[in-house]
């Protein structure tokens, strides 16, 4: 069902994708190793539809699943990132910081994503110096030249501001 949901999502058949993911979540064992993925993907579809409150709830469930199953795994920070991105989109930079802060000092290779959202959230809160610091940390932690270039483009307004 989740695979069908993903295929429907990729085909821009969002309402049908929500149905399939909802079915997959309902039928999955609470300890199923892919449950966090199901919740996260469902959240992504809901966010695409502009159903942000529902998406937030699913991202929170995805994060809770990851923390329960593998608290030090990369999936934890991926879900923190997705949740924080959504909270920024919802106009809640303080909430975004709350979501990502516990993962900032982890060492699973995803910290650069958290620093990206941290920079944007701090900027929106008027903490410009701290935002620039976080943006530079994101650049330093990025895993590739391509990632760094994408960060430079996305964070240009923060990095160039004096």
pLDDT tens for 54-70 read: 999 999 999 999 999 98
Q: What per-residue confidence (pLDDT) applies to 107? A: 72
Sign of the four-CA dihedral 113, 77, 95, 140: negative
- Judge contact between 125 and 93, C-beta under 8 A: yes
Q: Which residues contact 83 (CB under 8 A, 6 or more apart)?
A: 56, 59, 60, 63, 96, 99, 100
- Judge contact between 83 and 99, C-beta under 8 A: yes
Q: What per-residue confidence (pLDDT) applies to 162? A: 59
Question: What is the pLDDT of the chain when averaged over all its residues?
Answer: 94
């Amino acid at each position: 069902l989740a695979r069908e949901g993903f295929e429907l999502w990729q085909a821009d058949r969002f309402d049908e994708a929500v149905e399939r993911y909802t079915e997959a979540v309902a039928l999955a064992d609470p300890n199923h190793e892919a449950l966090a993925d199901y919740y996260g993907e469902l959240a992504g579809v809901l966010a695409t539809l502009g159903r942000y409150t529902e998406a937030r709830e699913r991202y929170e469930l995805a994060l809770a699943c990851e923390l329960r199953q593998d608290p030090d795994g990369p999936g934890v920070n991926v879900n923190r990132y997705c949740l924080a991105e959504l909270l920024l989109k919802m106009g809640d930079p303080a909430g975004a910081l709350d979501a990502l802060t516990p993962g900032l000092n982890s060492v699973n290779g995803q910290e650069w994503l958290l620093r990206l959202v941290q920079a944007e959230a701090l900027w929106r809160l008027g903490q410009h110096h701290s935002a620039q610091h976080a943006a530079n940390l994101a650049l330093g932690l990025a895993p590739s030249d391509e990632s760094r270039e994408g960060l430079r483009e996305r964070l240009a307004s923060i990095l160039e501001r004096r």
